[in-house]
Structures are given as structure tokens and as C-alpha cells.
Amino acid sequence: MRVLLTGHKGYIGTILVPMLLEAGHDVVGLDNDLFRRCTFKEGMVDIPEIIKDVRDIEANDVQDFDAVLHLAGLSNDPLGDFNPDITFQINHQASVRLAELAKEAGVSRFIFSSSCSNYGAAGDDLLNEESANNPVTPYGESKVLVERDLSKMADGSFTPTYLRNATAYGVSPRLRFDLVLNNLVAWAYCTKQVYLKSDGTPWRPVVHIEDISRAFMAVLHAPRDTVHDQAFNIGRNEENYRIREIADIVADTVPDCRIEYAPDAGPDLRCYRVDCSKAIEMLPEFKPQWTVRKGAQELYNVYQQVGLTLDEFEGTRFSRIAHLRSLIDGQIITNELRLWSDEPVQSAAV
């Protein structure tokens, strides 16, 4: 297939690109590359690309593709809270417009990177794809709205699918530390503390970015009737954890560290467990391979290899919200997350 992958230079996109190529797909990327200063390690694969803000996509950008895999957008709750209006412009309105243009261009498959954040404040119940949405952040709300609007577009020629990814973790060329497992292992490695900012009681499903990428591949290859206008929780049922359980695994992985709670640690409104049986049963190609324990070891090994320092961990390179704030302060991008000039963001020594 000829595939357009938005967000191909991001945390998940840099993992998905080589998988798509290995499967024989013709892949074109689309990304504004605002995070080009945030490369953590080698491994990014060059493909034909369109460097453009997802808000500025035009009809000719989506011509002659069989499928669009849509990852681009503001990637988590802190980014969504930064400017809710911009969150809805990018994550909701631009996503729907991209789908409309793709449908008009004759693209038959549209796979949307949604989120288990849709469920929001849900307590201890195990939630499936029919459970009520209860988002508690602009990020989660934006994902719910995109699913709603894409569903209205589904017909005999256009098949949208919604992958509700659990909280991601794992090593990537564009690594992020603003994710729970990545963050806790880095804290433990750099400080010998597993530092919790909540009381550790909330539930969170977690999934490795390689397994998220496998889910995209499985949907792309699945029969149309199987995935038409369908949502799938992406993860494994046994990979639902309370945050304190993740902390225990990190403490077992990183030698000589201890668990510490922030002085103001309290409950987190975001609390949800998800049932991922539907994806496992309906997508035979989807075979997730990672566990939190295996992922913690991967992260610890890589942090050792690169000699991760506390300054790097706490700096602006690998936290999306901190990096965008640094670009705004440096007048490289505006408060609307657009470039001050038409020149692309340049690489810099950091």
C-alpha cells in the first residue's frame, strides 16, 4: 500500500516507519518537525516527507494514497492543558479536516491514533470499547470528538478506525520522559529515587510503542469489514497497573533505589483500567510482545549506555511541554505553536 504517516518524526512514528517499510509499504511522512532538537539516539529512517503543520494540510498532500495513519498532534495531557484552544485546533479540527480531504481524494483507510484517556475518571471497573467516555482533560476530549466526527464520515468507500492506545513507554529515537515508565526509570537511574507525584493509587494501562506500532500494522492489513468504524483498546489486559505497582517494578529493576512520594502527592483524577480483548481477538496479526518489567529493563539498559544525566533528564529536550515553552521563549515559535518565520526549526547544539 501507499501510506501517508503523519507524525512520522515523533516518539511513535520513528518506530512505526521501519515496520511499515519492512512490510513492503510505500511510505510518505508528514510532520512539522518541531522536535528536531529532541533526538535521543540514532535510528531514524529517512523517507519521502512533507514538512508541514497538520493545520495547513491541502488536498494535494493526500492524493494517491491507499491509507492515512494519523499520529500527528499534541501528544499528552500537559500539552493539551497548555492551551486548550490550540489543542482543539490541532487535535480535533485539523484531524477531521485531514480525514475529509483524504476521503475526497479517494483514500479508503484512515487509522486514527486515539487514546485510553477517553475514559478519564473511571475508577476500578474494567472498560471495553463500549464503555462510556469520561475525559477529564482537553487532550482526552479532543480524541473523543475526533472519533465522533470520523464515525459520521464512515461509508462504503471510507473506513476510519480508532486505536485507543494505553499510556505509551519504550525507547525511541525521539524519546520522551513525560511518560510514566520512561520517567520513573530515569528518576531512579539519575537520582536513586523512584519519584511519585501522585499517591500511586490510580490505575493506568500501559503499552510499549513497538506494540502500538504492531497494532497500526494489524489494522492496516486487516479485512475492511473487521475494522470499519471500529475502536480498539491497544494494550494487554495483564498490563493494567496501579502507579505504585509500576514504581515497585522500577525499584526492582534499578539497583539501590527507593520509592519516594512528593510532599503534595495526592490522587490523580485520571484512573482507568481497560479490556484489550477485542484487539487480540479480532486482529490476529496483533501480537503484543512487551511487559512493563521488560520495558523497564530496556529503558534502564539504554540510560546506562548513553550515560543519561540529571540535567538531560530534567532539561527541555525530552519533555514535550518544556521543549515547546523553550521554543516560545526563544521566539522560534509563537504561542499558537507556529514558526515565527517560514524557515524550518534548525538543529542546534544542546
Name the pLDDT band for 342 (thresholds 50, 70, 90): low
Altogether, the residues listed in the chain come to a count of 350
What percent of the chain clears pLDDT 90, i.e. is strictly above it?
A: 80
Averaged confidence pLDDT in the chain: 93
Q: Is the pLDDT of residue 309 over 60?
A: yes
Higher pLDDT, 346 or 253: 253
Residue 179 falls inside a structural domain: yes
Is pLDDT of 4 > 90? yes
Cβ contact 251:259 at 8 Å: yes
Indicate the DSSP class of residue 2: E
Check pLDDT > 90 for residue 156.
Answer: yes
Whether the predicted pLDDT of 267 surpasses 90: no
Once rounded to an integer, what is the mean pLDDT over residues 12-22? 98
pLDDT tier at 79, thresholds 50, 70, 90: low
- In the chain, what is the greatest distance between 2 CA atoms, to the nearest angstrom? 58
pTM: 0.94
SS3 at position 213: helix
Q: What is the pLDDT of residue 339?
A: 81
Give the domain extent around 272.
Answer: 2-329
The residue type of 59 is A
pLDDT at 153 over 70: yes
* Domain total in the chain: 1
Q: Is 348 among the domain residues? A: no
Residue 231 is assigned to a structural domain of this protein: yes
Helix (H, G, I), strand (E, B) or coil at 173: coil
- Average pLDDT of the segment spanning 151-180: 97
Split at pLDDT 50, 70, 90, the class of 343 is: low
Using DSSP, state whether 113 is helix, strand or coil. Answer: strand
Secondary element (H or E) of residue 17:
helix 13-22
- φ, ψ of residue 152 to 5 degrees: the values are -65, -20
Q: Is 192 within a domain?
A: yes
C-alpha torsion angle, residues 249, 252, 255, 258 (rounded to 10): 70
Within a domain: 337: no
The CATH number linked to 247 is 3.40.50.720
345 within some domain: no
CA–CA gap between residue 286 and residue 237 (Å, rounded): 14
The C-alpha atoms of residue 139 and residue 73 are separated, in whole angstroms, by: 10
Residue 163 included in any domain: yes
> Would you say residue 349 has pLDDT above 60?
no
pLDDT for 347: 35
pLDDT grade for 348, boundaries at 50, 70 and 90: very low
Closest by CA to 286, choosing from 165, 117, 133, is 165
Residue 26, domain member (yes or no): yes
Which phi and psi angles does 337 have, rounded to 5°?
Answer: 65, 35
* pLDDT 10s digits, 221-246: 999 999 999 999 999 999 999 999 99
Q: What percentage of the chain carries pLDDT values higher than 70?
A: 95
